[in-house]
Amino acid sequence: MGKMSEKAIQEAYRLAKDAYGSWGIDTEDALAQLDKLPISMHCWQGDDVSGFEAPEGELTGGIVATGEYPGKARNGDELRADLEKAFSLIPGTHRLNLHAIYAETGGKAVDRAELKPEHFAGWVDWAKENRLGLDFNPTLFSHPKSVDGFTLSHPDKTVRDYWIEHCKACRKIGASFGEKLGKTCVTNIWIADGFKDVPVDRMTPRQRLMESLDEILSEEIPKEHNLDAVESKLFGIGTESCVIGSHEFYMGYAATRKTLLCLDAGHFHPTEVISNKISSALLFLEGILLHVSRPVRWDSDHVVTLDDELIAIAHEIVRSGQAERIHIGLDFFDASINRIAAWVIGTRNTQKALLYGLLENTAELAKVEAEFNYTDRLALLEELKTMPFGAVWDYYCLTRGVPVGSSWLQSVKQYEADVLASRK
Ligand code: RNT
Ligand code: ZN
């Protein structure tokens, strides 16, 4: 289904190149630029955010992965094999985003506060072989010390100190990734701390969170090895009334402490979009991390589709001319469909959106806009929508050695039969 001959792909591309050329848009240039936009694919889609510490344990922190699609990865080797499969179907050179619960400790229980770079040696070797960069996240959920619903802002200092140690350990692990791979790691802190019902005191926990973060960041780490990011959220399951690490909290924190701000597409009010925040954030911050996700009514982390907001995010990345300060990460987890297909669909869609954004005569459109010529702006933007974008995308896949169109799906199905089916 949907298999085109190479000749047809080349021919369609030649026509598309001419069509875009007539608009002053250079398709070759767009493809070369797309090659330079790595996407950090999240490991946790591969096993429903289970990790290797207590894979049968409960996922907590107000996030859920629903579905029981068979064949989920149960250890590092399986997860890496699945990731390799996914990466083989995605054009370009990318990154992998790991969480601390994906440490490989050789069957020995290692406390999260005691994690060391050596517990990720398997990941680093594999990343080197596959020319991938690595990003990282401390895991402050699914753990006995987070059952009260508070971690870095917990009223009990011993609990805060535990999580502070964990985050410090994680920054060192992130720095080791950056150093060993020669590609800067982004270590992102997200906590679920908050109140189900309306709290009396919002200030004190926020004060404690600020102090905990300051303590975590007090150790200097070269920025070429590790960049810190902080991720806000409006609400989670069980923290409907107040999340301590809100947007305002982290916007202020990132601006004053010079960290990156992580904008997750699912962490705002239902009609609020992150695409409109990127330009403002870039004016005041060193840079941003994006968690490209798809909320459906709430922070439900659906696989990203090529929808208006994904395209709007891509347009902002491209039009801002600030791509080097924007770290693109994915964050979704769907356990009701083939997990490898979920990665491939979400990542390819993010790349499609970026390519769509790159295939634009932005300077001309901006000039038209600056002249208050909104008629032309609307007319041109609408005509651009039906340009032969798909032919350029197909050609990109062909020339970067990955399946064109839906033909990748067959490869995932074969892998499901050969590999996933035997996992019980
Ligand atoms: C949760 C945050 C966070 C997590 C990952 C697993 O709402 O989006 O980024 O999804 O850390
Ligand atoms: Zn996120």
Q: Candidates 3.40.50.1950, 3.30.2130.10, 3.40.50.1100, 3.20.20.150; correct CATH number of 13-422? A: 3.20.20.150
Ligand 1, atom 5, lies closest to the CA of 331
At CA 342, angle to CA 340 and CA 345, rounded to 5?
Answer: 110
Ligand 1, atom nearest to 44 Cα: 6
Burial of 161 (0-12, 13-18, 19+ CB in 10 A): middle
CB 294 within 8 A of CB 251: no
The ligand that comes nearest to the alpha carbon of residue 63 is 1
Radius of gyration of the chain (CA): 22
Calculate how far, in angstroms, residue 19's C-alpha sits from the geometric centre of ligand 1: 41
- What positions carry a catalytic annotation? 190, 231, 233, 264, 267, 291, 299, 301, 331
Calculate how far, in angstroms, residue 394's C-alpha sits from the geometric centre of ligand 2: 30
- In this structure, the number of other CB atoms found within 10 A of the CB of residue 60 comes to 17
188: amino acid identity, one letter = N
The ligand that comes nearest to the alpha carbon of residue 299 is 1
Calculate how far, in angstroms, residue 350's C-alpha sits from the geometric centre of ligand 2: 16
CB 19 within 8 A of CB 383: no
Residues with CB under 5 A from ligand 2 (ion): 264, 291, 331
Q: What is the pLDDT along the chain (424 residues), one digit of tens a residue?
A: 567 899 999 999 999 999 999 999 999 999 999 999 999 999 999 999 999 999 889 999 999 999 999 999 999 999 999 999 999 999 999 999 999 999 999 999 999 999 999 999 999 999 999 999 999 999 999 999 999 999 999 999 999 999 999 999 999 999 999 999 999 999 999 999 999 999 999 999 999 999 999 999 999 999 999 999 999 999 999 999 999 999 999 999 999 999 999 999 999 999 999 999 999 999 999 999 999 999 999 989 999 999 999 999 999 999 999 999 999 999 999 999 999 999 999 999 999 999 999 999 999 999 999 999 999 999 999 999 999 999 999 999 999 999 999 999 999 999 999 999 999 7
Calculate how far, in angstroms, residue 148's C-alpha sits from the geometric centre of ligand 1: 18
- In this structure, the number of other CB atoms found within 10 A of the CB of residue 300 comes to 16
The ligand that comes nearest to the alpha carbon of residue 61 is 1
CB 261 within 8 A of CB 222: no
Ligand 1, atom 11, lies closest to the CA of 190
Structure tokens, 234: 């409006």
Pocket of ligand 1 (CB under 6 A): 44, 49, 63, 137, 190, 231, 233, 264, 291, 299, 331
